[in-house]
Amino acid sequence: MMLNFNILDETFYMKKKILVVLIICVFLVFGGYKVVTNTNINQNHEIGEVLDSFDSVSVYYNGGVNHVLERNVTKDGYNLGLKYQCVEFVKRYYYQHLNHKMPDSYGHAKDFFNFNLSDGELNKQRNLIQYRNGGKSPPEIGDIFVYKASITNPYGHVAIVSGVDFSKSEIEIIQQNPGPFSDSREIYSIEHKDGKWFVINKRVLGWLHKI
């Protein structure tokens, strides 16, 4: 049987062309995403503007979710994080309101949750008790919610529990840097089933609690 090398060549070059086009598309999509998420596209707010506060600790507007202004370090040298990312607010809240310093003051939001720990164990990096979503203890006001990473947010997210109403099976969180058009507060449903507590949000891995 004789092979038609012209057809094979055409097929090879066609596949190569398609691959190149796909690579260019991916570059444009992710390149565009990077530009947009580093830009303030909501002209109703200025970066650094106070949007909300909880226990006298301010929530600042950050513009695009990947925008970074500078690192916020306290006078005594403690790293609060990058202005005005979600981690910076959470650590600033714990530092200013709860007088709490984390042994490990670095890491992305998703790094706040240690998958190697059992429910109710001490997270030594944060010096906080870690509970899983679906664990034995319900969230309390002041706890840190830790959200898993996603395709559009590879760093995860963190927020503070600002309200709990078990009579309504609701919980409120306050957050910094949820996006230029998102609210600083959100309400989730909470469920107590078979002795376990569930926050009805698939992104919530669990919460950290100060003893």
**What 3-state class would DSSP assign to 59?**
strand
Q: What's the predicted TM-score (pTM) here?
A: 0.85
- Mean pLDDT along residues 18-31: 57
Q: pLDDT tens for residues 139-194?
A: 999 999 999 999 889 999 999 999 999 999 999 999 999 999 999 999 999 999 99
Residue 43 lies in a domain: no
Give me the CATH number covering residue 204.
Answer: 3.90.1720.10
The DSSP 8-state label assigned to residue 201 in this structure reads -
Q: Does residue 117 sit in the same domain as residue 13?
A: no
Residue 108 lies in a domain: yes
Residue 45 lies in a domain: no
Q: Does residue 3 sit in the same domain as residue 105?
A: no
- Mean pLDDT along residues 66-79: 96
Total number of domains constituting the chain: 2
Residue 81 lies in a domain: yes
Residue 44 lies in a domain: no
Q: Does residue 115 sit in the same domain as residue 76?
A: yes
Residue 41 lies in a domain: no
Residue scoring higher pLDDT (26 or 192): 192
Q: Does residue 197 sit in the same domain as residue 106?
A: yes
Q: Which two tokens stand for residue 191?
A: 């469920």
Q: Does residue 105 sit in the same domain as residue 26?
A: no
Q: Does residue 26 sit in the same domain as residue 115?
A: no
Residue 121 lies in a domain: yes
When pLDDT is cut at 50, 70 and 90, the band that residue 24 belongs to is low
Q: Does residue 77 sit in the same domain as residue 181?
A: yes
**What 3-state class would DSSP assign to 30?**
helix
Q: pLDDT tens for residues 84-105?
A: 999 999 999 999 999 999 999 9
Per the structure, the complete domain to which residue 20 belongs is given by 1-36
Q: Does residue 118 sit in the same domain as residue 202?
A: yes
When pLDDT is cut at 50, 70 and 90, the band that residue 28 belongs to is very low
pLDDT at 29: 53
When pLDDT is cut at 50, 70 and 90, the band that residue 13 belongs to is low
Q: Does residue 32 sit in the same domain as residue 54?
A: no
Q: Does residue 127 sit in the same domain as residue 149?
A: yes
pLDDT at 75: 97
DSSP line for 110-168: GGGS-TTSPTTEEETTTTEEEEETTBSS---TTPEEEE---SS-TT-EEEEEEEEETTT
Q: Does residue 115 sit in the same domain as residue 30?
A: no
